[in-house]
Amino acid sequence: MPMIGWIFLLLAIASVVGSLLMLRDSANFRMSDEKRKKVRQRQAELEEKERKKDDW
């Protein structure tokens, strides 16, 4: 493979690894208790809707 091919391959691999590391770091965000409570409440509502829809 020509040298330019190796350079592109190396850049592509570095880009993927860098993106994965950024994704891992951004996954550790803090959520307030109030927001967490709202999310759980909304999830419970959606699950209840799904159950009613399935029972139809």
pLDDT at 52: 85
Provide the 8-state DSSP code for 23.
Answer: H
Name residue 24's amino acid: R
Compute and round to an integer the Cα radius of gyration of the chain: 22
In the structure encoding, which two tokens stand for residue 52, read together?
């009613």
Distances (CA, A) of 12 to 24, 44, 50: 19, 42, 42
pLDDT at 7: 96
Confidence of residue 19 (pLDDT cuts 50, 70, 90): very high
- pLDDT, one tens digit per residue, over 27-55 is 777 888 899 999 999 999 999 988 888 77
Residue 17 has pLDDT above 80, yes or no: yes
| Residue 9 neighbours by CB under 8 Å, 6+ apart | 1
Name residue 10's amino acid: L
Residue 56 has pLDDT above 70, yes or no: no
